[in-house]
Amino acid sequence: MRAAQVLWKNGTSKAVLMKGLLSAAKNSAAAPEANTQWFGPSTKFLVYRTYNPSLGKDDFQSLVSMPNDPVKQRYLTNSFDVFRYRDPQYFTFLDRYILKFSSSHILKDYLAASRMGFLDDRTVKFSAKDMDSLQDSYATYYRNLLNASKSGAAYKNEVHSPVPRDMSVNWSRLQRIENKSLLVWNLPEQWDHLTVYRKFWWYDIHHCFPLLVNRERNTSLTFMYFNNVRDACLFKNNFHGALLMENRLLVEKL
């Protein structure tokens, strides 16, 4: 507005005025791209904060806009993996998504191509993290989930123990475990793991155990690990929101 006032005071024509305003808007829109020059070679993660737990990889792929280079656009839309940032003890979603890239260079290209995109009805805004900071903060969750995929005993033995300093996250292994893992709220309190196996015998459940039981609020949180991704997805689709012995089940796939 101030730029417009100055131009009008100087007697500038409407055409010149509009040209100046469009140029200013263009420079302002391009500003986020300039931030990419500050990223170091180990910056391979973007973090997006939101309360929306239902975003998927396709939502972040849709942000890429390169109409003049469709080949590069296809490449960038498949250049990253998406992880949900989770509580290290209970595995619940903590309002952040992590985009993992293979290199800082690809991350910069993605950030530049997505800078005008919208998520949650607002312009998307990412914060960049380097490999060390993300792996350090994610190592506890990774260790605990790895143990949970083995057994309830393995999880309980180490859940409160410090994580070794040299422990790093195997992101591919983490993704494979998450794809076969579910969190189930409000299974009947009196059900043990044998009851779960018997009641849901047609699903290939490897094991399950309670992460949390709150008798005062009549709530429970159960970790379920499946032998295959298909049955984990089927269980989630069939039982999320179902009423079981007056308990409303809530099922979240990791």
C-alpha to C-alpha distances, 112 to 77, 83, 107, nearest whole angstrom: 13, 21, 9
pLDDT of residue 120: 85
Q: Within 10 Å of residue 127's Cβ, how many Cβ atoms?
A: 10
The predicted-structure confidence for 31-87, as pLDDT tens digits, reads as follows 344 344 456 666 889 999 999 988 999 999 989 887 788 888 888 888 999 999 999
Phi, psi dihedrals of residue 140, rounded to the nearest 5°:
-65, -45
Query: What are the extents of the domains in the chain?
Result: 1-37, 39-178, 180-254
Q: Which CATH architecture has domain 39-178?
A: 2-Layer Sandwich (3.30)
Q: Answer whether 39-178 and 180-254 agree in fold.
A: yes
Cα–Cα distance between 154 and 145 in angstroms, integer? 10
Sign of CA dihedral 145, 155, 240, 226: positive
Q: What average pLDDT does range 222-245 have in this prediction?
A: 93
- Name which residue leads in pLDDT, 130 or 12: 130
Place of tokens 């993996």: 81
Q: Which CATH architecture has domain 180-254?
A: 2-Layer Sandwich (3.30)
pLDDT of residue 16: 44
Place of tokens 């089940």: 249
In three-state form (DSSP H/G/I as H, E/B as E, the rest C), the secondary structure along 84-143 is EEECCCCCCEEEEEEEEECCHHHHHHHHHHHCCCEECCEECCCEEEEHHHHHHHHHHHHH
How much is the mean pLDDT over the chain?
A: 83
Q: At 250, is the pLDDT very low, low, confident or very high (cuts 50, 70, 90)?
A: very high
Cα–Cα distance between 18 and 7 in angstroms, integer? 10
Measured in whole angstroms, the distance separating CA 49 from the mean position of its chain's CA atoms is: 9
Q: At 13, is the pLDDT very low, low, confident or very high (cuts 50, 70, 90)?
A: very low
Place of tokens 């986020």: 32
Measured in whole angstroms, the distance separating CA 208 from the mean position of its chain's CA atoms is: 24
What global pTM score does this model have?
Answer: 0.77
pLDDT of residue 186: 92
The predicted-structure confidence for 134-171, as pLDDT tens digits, reads as follows 777 789 999 999 999 999 999 999 998 998 888 888 98
